[in-house]
Structure 1
Amino acid sequence: MQTLEHGGPGAPRPSFLSTLRLSLSERGFLGLYTGLSASVMRQMSYSLVRIGTYEKMKVALSKDSKPSNISLLGAASIAGAMGGVAGNPADVLLVRMTSDTVRPPEQRYNYSNAIAGLVRLVKEEGAQALGRGLGTNVASQVGSYDFFKSSLLGYTLPGIDYRFGDNLITHTLASLAAGTFATTVCSPADVLRSRIMASTDSSLVHVLQKSLREEGARFLFKGWLPAFIRLGPNTVLLFVFFEQLKKSWRAVAV
């Protein structure tokens, strides 16, 4: 949806359901998993670097006192930027593989998998193509997760006398809030990133000017619903499992 450009005045705007129907009609149910290999590659690069870097920085900030939200936000921004650099090649492949469904046949990339796509990307467009859209690919939700988690800890719900502790309920609610926050705040950069990565020659300025002229500022939030449907559960599972893994490692270390 993010890569679909509006056809002009009077043309229908592609909705979540219409895009879903198109994908199903073109490739069937398995078409919903197009780009899975690139998605796995992205998680194993972007998320690995982002979360690992953030945790190390948070430990360093916590040596003398509890770090402030501003400090955590700064650490999350740096970690997100480093993760964005590490995961950018996989992001380019993911955007191109998933957008093939809505492209005319002659404009499709037809990468069979992420590895094959990576080889073709470098061979056909040069190594510089690995950094395509890098400037818009530095978002991170780890800082907002810590903010929501610290805000919930110790809070007592009025009326039912429930106090939030460091448990599964708190981790789930904090990560869901972080996913919602990240989806909304990052949407403009995410849409621009997808459009730049999906093309071979468009610059950020060109994409922004053309999209604003033809679609208005609304295009910056195109695809918010499917982005949330992806990022919401992804963030919940990511941080819930991560918290359990941290507890297990601490127990082993002791």
Structure 2
Amino acid sequence: MASEDVVGKSTGESAVNTIVNLAEEAKFAREGVKAPGHAILSICKSLVAGGVAGGVSRTAVAPLERLKILLQVQNPHNIQYNGTIQGLKFIWKSEGFRGLFKGNGTNCARIVPNSAVKFFSYEQASSGILWFYRQQSGNEDAQLTPVLRLGAGACAGIIAMSATYPMDMVRGRITVQSEKSPYQYRGMFHALGSVYRQEGFRALYKGWLPSVIGVVPYVGLNFAVYESLKDWLLKTNPYGIVKDSELSVVTRLACGAVAGTIGQTVAYPLDVIRRRMQMVGWKDAAPVVTGHGKIKAPLEYNGMVDAFRKTVHNEGFGALYKGLVPNSVKVVPSIAIAFVTYEVVKDVLGVEMRISD
């Protein structure tokens, strides 16, 4: 009898637990809330989609990314890169095919988590902002405006950039170093350790301030323009481009290209200053030789404002847009590929929530 009581008690407890679990799931369903396990899986899928989007888009334009940085930081007394085609040919001739992709491994190691955090942060920020906006306006059917999307994108950009900034800093140095550099960084982790030991922890965040200021219009405009343009196309359906309430991949690529072009043009001067500040303190970089054959030390900057002042004073206002052409050629496909890849991967993984949602 005792054993039967134990079995009966165990069976009863199991039945009660099952009923409780079913009740909880029913409650989640009634309230439109996902069960905790489902929510965690959805978050992981979203992060994976963002990471894949970043890695694919950045690798596709790696040669242009490297050339852009080389143009940004080259000394006016030692011009080696005069344009996109000439610059790519020079890299190919002096360093070979691998030279075109130098720093891409480090770049992907940074951009994959950066992109994952950025897309996920945008979804969370836009959801939070939309909820607050609906509460304040009293309109439960209100939708995000372009300005609110800009704010959500800015939040996402700041969070993602701050979380991965040290990797971006050393990636810039690895990209710039050449065979003539006395000291060679062997990889991202070696560079992180070397900068930390030789220059201190604060050196890992050199150029952080202009990055924060620049990421607001850059990432913010990327998301705001992309989403607003898609929303406008879906509502107006010009030339009948909308099929079954969906935009084609080509149309979404075009939306991403427009968003990327606008964002990077507005924020580009801050990106130039950020790169130059990242090079400050790197005493083992390749020596700079002037036109008179004399070795000239690179300029030192005391801060963002000082970097702006010295750059404009010594090289003119146009120096703030050095590398803009290869960057424009890079950004158009890069941003477009990132957005579309993100949405496609989420579709493949079966994530219900899209960026626009």
2:270 partner amino acid:
A
Following the alignment from structure 1 to structure 2, what is the Cα–Cα distance between the partners of residues 76 and 251? 21
- Give the CA deviation at 1:251: 5.3
- Give the paired residue count: 245
Task: Structure 1: give runs of 5+ residues left out of the alignment.
Answer: none
Greater relative contact order (Cα < 8 A, sep 6+)? 2
In the alignment, what sits opposite 2:161? 84
Q: Is the 8 A contact 2:146 2:225 kept in 1?
A: no
1:209 partner amino acid:
R
Return the TM-score normalized by structure 1. 0.86
- Give the CA deviation at 1:196: 0.9
Q: Is the 8 A contact 1:6 1:13 kept in 2?
A: no
Structure 1 residues 101-250: aligned runs within 5 Å: 101=178, 105-106=180-181, 109-138=183-212, 139=215, 140=219, 141-158=222-239, 161-163=240-242, 165-200=246-281, 202=301, 203-248=303-348, 249-250=350-351
Structure 1 residues 59-74: aligned runs within 5 Å: 59-63=127-131, 64=140, 65-74=142-151
Following the alignment from structure 1 to structure 2, what is the Cα–Cα distance between the partners of residues 109 and 191? 24
Following the alignment from structure 2 to structure 1, what is the Cα–Cα distance between the partners of residues 267 and 122? 18
- Give the CA deviation at 1:94: 1.7
Task: Say whether residues 1:6 and 2:85 are aligned partners.
Answer: no
Following the alignment from structure 1 to structure 2, what is the Cα–Cα distance between the partners of residues 126 and 99? 21
Between the aligned residues of both structures, percent identity stands at: 24
- Give the CA deviation at 1:156: 3.2
Name which one, 1 or 2, has greater alpha-carbon Rg. Answer: 2
- Give the CA deviation at 1:163: 3.7
Following the alignment from structure 2 to structure 1, what is the Cα–Cα distance between the partners of residues 103 and 266? 24
Residue by residue over 1:99-151, the C-alpha shift from the partner in whole angstroms, topping out at 9 and shown as x without a partner, is: 224xx935x65212112111111111111111111112231122332222223
Residue by residue over 1:24-50, the C-alpha shift from the partner in whole angstroms, topping out at 9 and shown as x without a partner, is: 232111101100122112212322222
Q: Is the 8 A contact 1:154 1:163 kept in 2?
A: no
Q: Is the 8 A contact 2:72 2:323 kept in 1?
A: yes
In the alignment, what sits opposite 2:23? none
In the alignment, what sits opposite 1:54? 122
